[in-house]
Chains A and B, each alone.
Chain A
Amino acid sequence: MIPAAFEYARAGSVQEAAELLNRFGEDGKVLAGGHSLIPLMRLRLAQPSALVDINPVGELNYIVAEDGHLRVGALVRHVDIHTSDKVRKNLPILAEVAEEVGDNQVRNLGTIGGVMAHADSAGDYPTLALILDAEIVTNKRRFAAKDFFQDLFTTPLEPDEIVCEVVFPVANGPHKYVKFRRRLFDWAIVAAAAQQLNGGWRVGLTNVGPTPVRCNAVEKALSEGASPEQAAEQASEGLTPSGDIRATPDYKRHLARVLTRRAIEASS
């Protein structure tokens, strides 16, 4: 399958990329790892008039740990997140999740910035960003994760706005991400994340709605001394997931409870 024709330009810096996007207008898109965009273009579900290739932008490829934060540049590939000592030490759940994204070939190209900007409800990093109160920094503004994931594939990004980095808090306490899928490289049918931070629990779910979900009721129950099993019963409260070929809404609600319990119990 061959994508529709488009203009192509390569940017060497964030500023140059923004200028190019400005010139191309609303139908211009950023090309980073391309592992969501190119499949959509091949199916012609996306037909951008122009692509700005930011792969050469070295200033977006870094991992820095300082002042209680882990800052990950938008162009860092999943493989480099997974193998980074800084990530393993400061936010091990992120390194573990990175290894669960796609397969080796996908992880060699896909980027964290691309996952954020694409805002797929089955994306894994957005759930971590949401429950950890991470920030998404663009060339124009900073967003709290809860304000960034607005709807399915929908963020507040403007046409000439580029995700530059994701800022996570350092969190190296007990944690677990449990991803339920039929094949190793599949998207999550449902996934649950649990992380201890500042003496409390952060719990969230992937792919049970148009955006990632934070399980406030579960967190509250845990803080009041509920067992993981009791707390996890709250995980499906208020969820209205859509069904798909892999799971009905009811089954997803069931998975939300089961996986939440497993994530909390398996946290180490």
Chain B
Amino acid sequence: MKHKVSLTINGKGREDEVEARLLLVHYLRDVAGLTGTHIGCDTSQCGACTILLDGKAVKSCTLFAVQGDGHDVKTIEGMAASDGTLHPIQQAFWDEHGLQCGYCTPGFIMAAAYLLDRNPDPSDEEIRKGLEGNLCRCTGYVNIVKAVQSAAQTMGRDQARPQPAATGE
């Protein structure tokens, strides 16, 4: 038996009929065609499949697509601006070489987005604790932590920058 799901992915509404056993990660990759969300371990440990569900980081391999019904999903594809400008976290991973093979990167970026949303100015230790649910098999953690630190600074600066004054009074 198929179930109707209606959800928002990266700001766009979508409706599909899915089998109850379809995992959200398989739905995102195979049905919605958003292959940026990776499957790393299939045992709920590695965090490669991390997405934001109503703004909260979750492992999309540990959720059925039917549970997404009525909810708001954000994946790595929803991070960059529509003109292709990278999100500050993506840019920071690029600048700080926060990736080696890159397989875990989408999950790390989504987990970092959740972390910075809750704690805009984290210490190194808070970053490490906040990313405890994500594994990098290349063990590139030092640069990942640097990247999140650098993204926090950029995002903090963007926040603090005064809005351009309206002209023409």
Binding site for B on A (CB under 8 A): 1-8, 10, 31, 34-35, 38-39, 41-43, 51, 53, 55, 79, 102-106, 108-109, 183-185
- Give every chain B residue within 8 A of A3 (Cβ-Cβ): 21, 23
A3 CA to B20 CA, complexed, in Å = 10
A5 CB contact (under 8 Å) in B19, B42, B44: B19
Tell me the smallest distance from the CB of A143 to a CB of chain B, in Å: 28
Binding site for A on B (CB under 8 A): 1, 3, 19-21, 23, 26, 42-45, 47, 50, 53, 56-59, 61-64, 66-67, 111, 114-115, 129-130, 132-134
Tell me the smallest distance from the CB of B123 to a CB of chain A, in Å: 15
A185 CA to B3 CA, complexed, in Å = 34
- Give every chain B residue within 8 A of A106 (Cβ-Cβ): 44, 59, 62, 133
- Give every chain A residue within 8 A of B21 (Cβ-Cβ): 2-6, 41
A55 touches B67 (CB 8 A): yes
How would you classify the secondary structure of chain B's contact residues: helix, strand, loop or mixed? Answer: mixed
B130 touches A8 (CB 8 A): no
A105 touches B47 (CB 8 A): yes
B67 touches A103 (CB 8 A): no
B1 CB contact (under 8 Å) in A7, A10, A108: A7
Which A residue sits closest to B1, measured CB to CB?
Answer: A7
Tell me the smallest distance from the CB of B135 to a CB of chain A, in Å: 9
B63 touches A38 (CB 8 A): yes
A120 CA to B119 CA, complexed, in Å = 32
Task: Return 21 A-B CB contacts under 8 Å, by A number.
Answer: A2-B21, A3-B23, A5-B20, A5-B21, A6-B20, A31-B64, A38-B44, A38-B63, A41-B21, A42-B42, A53-B66, A103-B47, A105-B59, A105-B133, A106-B44, A108-B56, A108-B57, A109-B58, A109-B63, A184-B132, A185-B133
Assuming the contacts A3-B21, A7-B20, A185-B132, asked whether A38 and B3 have C-beta atoms less than 8 A apart, the reply is: no
A184 CA to B111 CA, complexed, in Å = 16
- Give every chain A residue within 8 A of B20 (Cβ-Cβ): 5-8, 51
Tell me the smallest distance from the CB of A238 to a CB of chain B, in Å: 33
B44 touches A35 (CB 8 A): yes
16 further interface pairs, Cβ-Cβ under 8 Å (given A7-B20, A10-B66): A5-B19, A6-B20, A7-B1, A8-B1, A8-B3, A31-B64, A35-B44, A38-B23, A38-B62, A104-B130, A105-B47, A105-B58, A105-B59, A105-B62, A108-B56, A109-B62
Which A residue sits closest to B130, measured CB to CB?
Answer: A104
Tell me the smallest distance from the CB of B16 to a CB of chain A, in Å: 15
